[in-house]
Structure 1
Amino acid sequence: MLSKISRHPIRARTAGLVSGLEALDVATGVSLARTKDHPANRALGSVGEVGSWQSLLALSVTVLACGTAVGDRRLAEAGRDMLAAGIAASIVKTTIKRTVHRTRPNVLMDEGRYARGRPGTGIGPWQSFPSGHAALSFAVARSVARAYPGLAAAAAIAAAGVAAIQVVRGAHFPVDVLAGAAIGVGAEAVSHRILRPKPDDAGHDPSVS
């Protein structure tokens, strides 16, 4: 493989760039997680679980149920969109995790092992890429922001906070959470486009009353 790369300068430079960026990502992740075992960081890790699929699924279903129960169409649609975006983001991130593997920062720091490649595994410590917490948090945050623009900043800050916690607790490298965030934003955009009401023949958008 190395001999083949050496005969293709562009490929060799690309491989070198990727290797360099990966090394930077790993070094940054380890540096940011150096206090992962501190009690304060462990507490942050618990807070970061608000970005787990279980928590966000419960939140989305609750919003949908409450909106339906009180007859608040906007709230119900927000819950529906949060749920759809979260499911879409979960499907994408799970598919990627099953396709590739990457050991988490805490595995490197505690056991001195680091590996990435194919295929994916069902083993948690080898599923660093991408961050599921970041993917679902950003997907749900974008849905909240779309339904309630006044909450956009708070939702974005909350999602970014969840993503950052995953790095300082040694669960993910920076690129993992960036990829997760991109997945979340993209999943929400696609699910919203699918669920968005179609304008009628007169050009009226039925979602606007």
Structure 2
Amino acid sequence: MGRRLEAADIRLGVSLARAKDTRRVRALAAASEAGGWKWLLALSGGTLALGVLRRDPRLAEAGRHMLVSGMLAAVTKTTVKRVVHRTRPNVLMDEGLYEKGWFGPNVGPWQSFPSGHSALSVAVATAAGRAYPEIRGVATAAALGVVAVQVLRGAHFPVDVAAGALIGLSAEAVDHRIALGRDGVAGLAARGIPG
């Protein structure tokens, strides 16, 4: 069963990445770099800083939540990438090489699983959408666009981006739960009730 699912994932990934070298897909790939850690860190940190400067607690908390969710997603995906190695679809397509296993080389072509762009984009978009429900649709669409392009450009197989998105959702949910607990204790303390 597992091998059949892996084979189907490989077939689908290669099929979806057939146009990876076209000008259109390369342009989409360049645009999808907005889902990379540098840009998302800048966006999250900038949102936090702007909220602090404006004395806007909602905006500052949104930035904090985006930043922490993104960092949790980054740490998780990096840890998994260090343990699981899987060659990327573009390596299979261009060089005919596909390998997977445990504790492989710590280099990009061997780190298809999970997708970091997917993990971080989904984490930050979910955090932003939770803070500002009016932008949830746009944030989600942007994150899903980044996720889809990772497959189209041959950087990841479908399972890789699904795992990355799950990491992003989980990271945001963990930080949200922690924030709820923190806010609940702070609210009790403000009313003079021991937490």
TM beyond 0.5: yes
Q: Distance in 2 between matches of 1:109 and 1:160?
A: 24
Q: Which amino acid aligns with 1:173?
A: F
Name stretches of at least 5 consecutive residues in structure 2 with no aligned partner.
none
TM-score, normalised relative to structure 1: 0.87
Deviations 1:99-143 (A, max 9, x none): 010000000000000011111431100000000000000000110
Task: Tell me, yes or no, if structure 1 residue 24 matches structure 2 residue 12.
Answer: no
Q: Which amino acid aligns with 2:87?
A: T
Task: Tell me, yes or no, if structure 1 residue 186 matches structure 2 residue 170.
Answer: yes
The Cα of 1:201 is off from its aligned counterpart by: 3.2
Task: Tell me, yes or no, if structure 1 residue 159 matches structure 2 residue 159.
Answer: no
Question: Counterpart in 1 of 2:153?
Answer: 169
Q: Which amino acid aligns with 2:143?
A: A
Task: Tell me, yes or no, if structure 1 residue 56 matches structure 2 residue 43.
Answer: no
Find the partner of 1:88 among 68, 72, 86: 72
Q: Distance in 2 between matches of 1:64 and 1:178?
A: 28
Name stretches of at least 5 consecutive residues in structure 1 with no aligned partner.
1-16, 205-209
Tell me if the contact between 1:100 and 1:121 (Cα under 8 Å) persists in the aligned partners.
Answer: no
Task: Tell me, yes or no, if structure 1 residue 150 matches structure 2 residue 134.
Answer: yes
1:1-209 alignment runs, 5 A limit:
17-196=1-180, 197-199=183-185, 200-201=187-188
TM-score, normalised relative to structure 2: 0.93
Q: What is the root-mean-square deviation in Å for CA atoms of aligned residues? A: 1.3
* Alignment length (residue pairs): 188
Between stretches 117-126 and 135-144, larger displacement belongs to 117-126
- Identity, % of aligned positions: 58
The Cα of 1:151 is off from its aligned counterpart by: 1.0
Computing the radius of gyration from Cα coordinates, the structure with the larger value is 1
- The DSSP-based 3-state class of the residue aligned with 2:97 is coil
